Chains A and B, each alone.
Chain A
Amino acid sequence: MAAVARLRVVRPGMLTTVQDHGRHGQGHLGVAQQGALDAYALRWAQRLAGNGPEAAGLEITLLGPTLAVLDPCFGAIAGAELGMKVNGAPWPAGTSRRLLAGDLLSFGPPLDGLRAYLSFGGGVAGDELLGSRATDLQSGVGGHGGRALRAGDILTVGDLDGEPAAAPVPTAILRDRARVLPGPRDRLFPRDALRQLSSAPYQVTSHSDRVGMRLRGPEVSGAPGSILSEGTPLGGIEIPPAGQPIVLLQGRGTVGGYPILATVIAADIPLLAQLRPGGAVRFAVVSRAEARAAREEMERELLLPLRPLA
């Protein structure tokens, strides 16, 4: 980013971090993936901002920040509808617009979903580490000093202009059914474990964060307890001895010691990222062909043309 624009963090919101596509390639050293939990919404924010998929944006959780625009820039918001406003007037999710010095961005009340993504023409600056600007809150590195935004922070973003536009489809996936493939460790469980997992909805508990979602619902019986630690896939559904599942998200550690009964398909991670504590999700076992179709559908959507705004 040669030329830059700045924003001042007036209030940081509940949890606002710099995130991108995540940190790949150093998993064998224990370096966590991180990156936007709803990668689909971040991609929309980047498209609306006129950026490539490698750019970083802000991941905003439920109660958004208040940001004072210090220099002219071009903003894009996508994902959850968290009640974003510019100088008090609504700025709907899935649109982009020009911002002027003196504009005040604020949020609330949150209407739908959990996580929104805010980006700017030219992206959001952040500490780059091993090929990614994603904030790793567990290790305290990447993004804005390895931490969530705080009041008084100055955020550096690009100052590239763009044409205001709207996404052709909703930018947050708000469904209550997550598709899973069995495994990798389904064979360590009794035969009906997968049936129990998909028998009724689970509730998202408040002990959920970027690392994982702890669920409460039908007990999966016969969990073999701890196993020798092994690699954890994104969306892996761990079953601790008590039988209540944990779904692992982008902030998870690279290895874990509970067996993974099933794994949420890549196309359905975004819907998990939008579920609030208290919300419900039901798992459905699908085939590899269905997983592929879901991914291709998502990629097709991301190529649809933007709708220009007057």
Chain B
Amino acid sequence: MFEAGDEGLLLVFGQGLDAAVNERVQGYGEAVRRAGIPGVRDVVPGYLSLLVTYDAGKIDGDDLRSALAALRPAARAIRPPRHHEVPVCYGGSFGPDLEEVAAKAGLTPEDVVGLHAGQEYRVYCLGFAPGFPYCAELPTVLRLPRRPEPRLKVPRGSVGIAGLQTGIYPLETSGGWHLLGRTPWTVFDWTRPEPARILPGDTVCFRPIAEGEFRQLEAMADSGDGSRG
């Protein structure tokens, strides 16, 4: 346990990218949230650590340490893991960086799509924007540093890659990842009791779709009978 200022504690569970370590992070995070310790504000899981922030006026840091140390991790995070097959329209205006990524990797755009959509990813944590799933790990040949200058506006639903990660932008935000395509899915919906569609521990794969299907699914999502599941 490391101090993160006078109102935060960082619990570190391991080193490097490791699904088993992340599983413990998620289980512990769930246990802390369920425990409802007065004064705890937020419980934020990362890849290999858990940040617990608190109101120091309501709970002393040492008391919180003891309370956290006494907790037994929950067996499962939030709900049983789900598998998501995320439809993605790759390239063109949906994936403005597909050609460049292909060139840098010495591949054709079709190869990049095949590689990106050809495997399953684990969701390690949510963050950056509400419901943004950090998924890993990307095939080695597709691993590139972030773009040198982030885009000011990345459209909602954009699917990007950076380093060993891939993710989905739930809202229009700025962003520095390479954009390969876009999904018509609503990944985060503020109006739902469970606003995040994809949660840590879930698995994700990407299914290439044509623009026609994208428009169709988008219209269904907008009319409220979208394929949320």
B is a partner of A: yes
Question: Which residues of A are in contact with B by a Cβ distance under 8 Å?
Answer: 24-33, 129-130, 138-141, 180-185, 187, 226, 228-236, 253-255, 260, 263-266, 288, 291-292, 295, 299
Which residue of chain B has its CB nearest to the CB of A296? B57
Q: A228-B46, A260-B4 are in contact. Are A29 and B196 (CB under 8 A)?
A: yes
Give the residues in chain B near A254, CB-CB below 8 Å.
Answer: 42, 44, 126-128
- The CA of A197 and the CA of B198, in the complex, are separated in Å by 39
14 A-B residue pairs with CB within 8 Å = A25-B41, A28-B29, A184-B8, A185-B2, A187-B2, A228-B47, A229-B46, A229-B127, A231-B42, A233-B10, A235-B5, A255-B125, A265-B5, A295-B6
Give the residues in chain A near B61, CB-CB below 8 Å.
Answer: 288
Give the residues in chain B near A183, CB-CB below 8 Å.
Answer: 2-4, 10
B134 at the interface (CB under 8 A from A): yes
Given contacts A29-B196, A32-B130, A236-B4, 13 further A-B contacts (CB under 8 A): A138-B174, A141-B190, A184-B2, A185-B2, A185-B10, A229-B47, A230-B47, A231-B42, A233-B51, A253-B128, A263-B4, A264-B5, A265-B6
- The CA of A234 and the CA of B51, in the complex, are separated in Å by 11
B53 at the interface (CB under 8 A from A): yes
B207 at the interface (CB under 8 A from A): no
- The CA of A182 and the CA of B3, in the complex, are separated in Å by 8
B204 at the interface (CB under 8 A from A): no
Give the distance to chain A from B41, nearest Cβ to Cβ, in Å.
4
Chain B interface, DSSP helix/strand/loop, else mixed: mixed
Contact assessment for A230 and B53 in the assembled complex, using a CB-CB cutoff below 8 Å? no
- The CA of A117 and the CA of B50, in the complex, are separated in Å by 33
- B53: contacting residue among A32, A138, A233, A295, CB under 8 A: A233
Give the residues in chain A near B171, CB-CB below 8 Å.
Answer: 139-140
Give the residues in chain A near B45, CB-CB below 8 Å.
Answer: 28, 231
Give the residues in chain B near A234, CB-CB below 8 Å.
Answer: 5, 7-8, 53
Contact assessment for B5 and A266 in the assembled complex, using a CB-CB cutoff below 8 Å? yes
- Of residues B48, B130, B196, which shows the largest number of chain A Cβ atoms within 10 Å of its Cβ? B130
- Of residues A33, A226, A232, which shows the largest number of chain B Cβ atoms within 10 Å of its Cβ? A232
Q: Mark B111-126, 1 if CB is under 8 A from A, else 0.
A: 0000000000000111
Contact assessment for A255 and B129 in the assembled complex, using a CB-CB cutoff below 8 Å? no
Q: How large is the interface on B (under 10, 10 to 19, 20 to 34, 35 or more residues)?
A: 35 or more
Give the residues in chain A near B174, CB-CB below 8 Å.
Answer: 138
- The CA of A141 and the CA of B48, in the complex, are separated in Å by 30
Q: A25-B41, A231-B49, A231-B50 are in contact. Are A266 and B125 (CB under 8 A)?
A: no
Question: Which residues of B are in contact with A by a Cβ distance under 8 Å?
Answer: 2-8, 10, 16-17, 29, 33, 41-51, 53, 56-57, 61, 124-132, 134, 163, 171-174, 188, 190, 195-196
Give the distance to chain A from B65, nearest Cβ to Cβ, in Å.
12
Q: A231-B49, A295-B57 are in contact. Are A30 and B127 (CB under 8 A)?
A: yes
Give the distance to chain B from A270, nearest Cβ to Cβ, in Å.
14
Give the distance to chain A from B213, nearest Cβ to Cβ, in Å.
28
- The CA of A28 and the CA of B132, in the complex, are separated in Å by 11
Contact assessment for A255 and B3 in the assembled complex, using a CB-CB cutoff below 8 Å? no
Contact assessment for A236 and B48 in the assembled complex, using a CB-CB cutoff below 8 Å? no
Give the distance to chain B from A33, nearest Cβ to Cβ, in Å.
7
- The CA of A253 and the CA of B167, in the complex, are separated in Å by 15
- B42: contacting residue among A33, A140, A226, A292, CB under 8 A: A33
Contact assessment for B56 and A292 in the assembled complex, using a CB-CB cutoff below 8 Å? yes
Contact assessment for A30 and B41 in the assembled complex, using a CB-CB cutoff below 8 Å? no
Q: A233-B4, A236-B4, A266-B5 are in contact. Are A228 and B17 (CB under 8 A)?
A: yes
Contact assessment for B130 and A263 in the assembled complex, using a CB-CB cutoff below 8 Å? no
Contact assessment for B46 and A230 in the assembled complex, using a CB-CB cutoff below 8 Å? yes
- Of residues A180, A187, A231, which shows the largest number of chain B Cβ atoms within 10 Å of its Cβ? A231
- B3: contacting residue among A30, A184, A228, A299, CB under 8 A: A184
Give the residues in chain B near A185, CB-CB below 8 Å.
Answer: 2, 10
Contact assessment for B190 and A129 in the assembled complex, using a CB-CB cutoff below 8 Å? yes
Contact assessment for A266 and B190 in the assembled complex, using a CB-CB cutoff below 8 Å? no
| 5 closest A-B pairs by CB | A231-B51, A230-B46, A255-B127, A27-B42, A263-B5
Contact assessment for A139 and B53 in the assembled complex, using a CB-CB cutoff below 8 Å? no
Give the residues in chain A near B188, CB-CB below 8 Å.
Answer: 29-30
